[in-house]
Chain A
Amino acid sequence: MSDLNGVNDVTNENGENPKEELGEKGEKLSIEARLGLVAFTIDSEPHIKLREEVCRECKPRYCLFVCPAKLYTEENGEIKFNYEGCLECGTCRIACPQELDWNYPRGGFGAHYQYG
């Protein structure tokens, strides 16, 4: 039923070929490196949408630190959101003091966990 228009290829087939060895003690794997371990099929349209004017007025901006994928960032005082790399947990929706337009990606899109 679900068409696959707008698919980017799965960005990463993980499992047998881990990208990176764990480093020395104290060396953190960056969130970008960890997201690189997740297989995604990215949809052409974002499944979570911010309302610019609401976000601009928002003081607490909890999204900047509670998102486990660090997809919310601040640029020139504006909140930017990158839906690619979304782990689909829902934390931002729960933490957001405003009403966030949150949904799952379309069927078949988003993260494909193998060890979830």
Chain B
Amino acid sequence: MEEKFDAIIVGAGAAGLGAAYRLAKYGLNVVVLERGQRIGAKNVYGGRIYTHVFEKEIPEFRKEAPVERWVKKERLTLMNSDDAVTLELFSDFSANDSFIAILSKFNEWLGKKVEDAGGLVIPGIKVDDLIAENGTIKGITAGDEKLYADVVIDAEGINPIIAKKAGLRDDWKPNQVAVGVKEVIKISENTVNDIFQLNEGEGVANLFLGYPTNYALGGGFLYTNKDTISLGVVIRIDSAIAKRIQVYDIIEDFRNHPFIHRILKEGSPIEYSAHLVPEEGLDGIPRNLVGDGILLAGDVAGFVLNRGLTIRGVDLAFLSGLLAAETVKEAHEAGDFSRASLSSYEEKLKNSIVFSELEAFKRASGLLGNLRFYETYPQILCEVLKDAYTVGENSRKIYPILREKMKGRLSLFTMIRDVISAVRNL
């Protein structure tokens, strides 16, 4: 069998499906190959997706998308082993809204949009290798099968198996990626509303620093789905190694923290999962995003922005897929799929929010590598506030408490420098 497509897309994630959706709309003959048994079977994600890009591309998005809840409360919690200090923003987020979703279900829906637009998505097929002729990519192999196309869009996800074979990127180093683990816990919709004081359809996005990672680089998260909770921990791999974190049990320690346990005590766990997350921002993006007959989109290209307070990747992946599709359409019209022709993809990305946002926060990843934000500050803050709120015969003012807690752990100068750096770069 020798079939020829206009484009083959590796991976039915947000990037691959974005590219397929647009290419199908252009009327090109496109196939998406997905290694999962069904679309979404291999996806793992914390939970929050920013709306803007999807709404612009898919008019019926708001009516149809499988939204669990719309984010109504943003929370940041600093934790030590016993206590938790939470900052909450309650606001009208309609101008810049985001929603909580189960990515497996969301991508399944995106897959249907691709099929409705005339694209072909085939699950159960793992792409093993690329077919190259004179250095130009001409197709893929999957088991004994060969498929040919004018161009391959590699949206394989975080593990760069195909991109490495194409010579487009090296594998990630332990300081460039984090491992995320997640438990989904079933509780009733009413219980979610009651515990978090939410109206129907409203949700909470809660990030955590300190205890959840056992004070390693990374954080915890809690997202309210409709009638389940997604609870997770994300740890940069170099830090998990340095602190010898037992990654397989870290989520259970977090779930048993008194602050979390009282929320979830009536729930039942229904799934456990793990996935890698790019952490390096702009510096994690490979120098070349295209080769002769191939483009990279989504996680494999490193398009994830971690600002500390917010993390976004799904919308950037989808947008990179759209831009890859625009590039392929132009190349199709010109009949030229060389690296030079496809390099307009890199220009498109640089003129889009994918790069402008990563550029704006390019110093965030360096700052977020500062262990004090995970180790020292959560513990000191919990201890200081606990003492400050303690009333007795020897009640003290905040400043002497702070100096006592900082002694031997943190200098005033370092703290001021960190605060200024955080405010400037995040």
Contact = CB atoms under 8 A, between A and B. Distances in A.
Nearest to B262: A25
Contact of A22 (B123, B126, B244, B268): B268
Interface string B5-48: 00000000000000000000000000000011110111111000
B363 to A, nearest CB: 24
A66 B41 CA distance: 23
A55 interface: no
Interface residues of B, number: 66
B126 A107 contact: yes
A112 B41 contact: yes
A107 B42 contact: no
A87 interface: yes
Given A94-B237, A116-B45, A31 B249 contact: yes
A105 B42 CA distance: 11
A1 B183 CA distance: 33
A82 interface: no
A113 B36 CA distance: 9
Contacts, number: 174
Interface in A82-116: 87-91, 93-95, 102-116
A68 B181 CA distance: 7
Interface in B274-333: 274-276
Interface residues of A, number: 50
- Among A70, A95, A115, chain B packs the most CB atoms within 10 A around the CB of A115
A65 B273 contact: no
B124 A37 contact: no
B184 A115 contact: yes
A15 B227 CA distance: 12
B381 interface: no
A28 interface: yes
A87 B270 contact: no
Contact of B173 (A15, A31, A94, A110): A94
A108 B123 contact: yes
Contacts of A112: 36-38, 41
* Top 10 A-B residue pairs of the complex, sorted by shortest distance between their CB atoms: A108-B124, A107-B126, A34-B272, A18-B268, A68-B274, A70-B248, A28-B252, A115-B184, A116-B44, A87-B274
Interface of B: 35-38, 40-45, 102-104, 122-126, 142-143, 145, 158-159, 161, 171-174, 177, 179, 181-186, 228, 230, 237, 240-241, 244-249, 252-253, 255-256, 258, 261, 264-276
Interface of A: 1-2, 14-15, 18, 20-22, 25-29, 31, 34-35, 37-38, 41, 60, 62, 65-70, 87-91, 93-95, 102-116
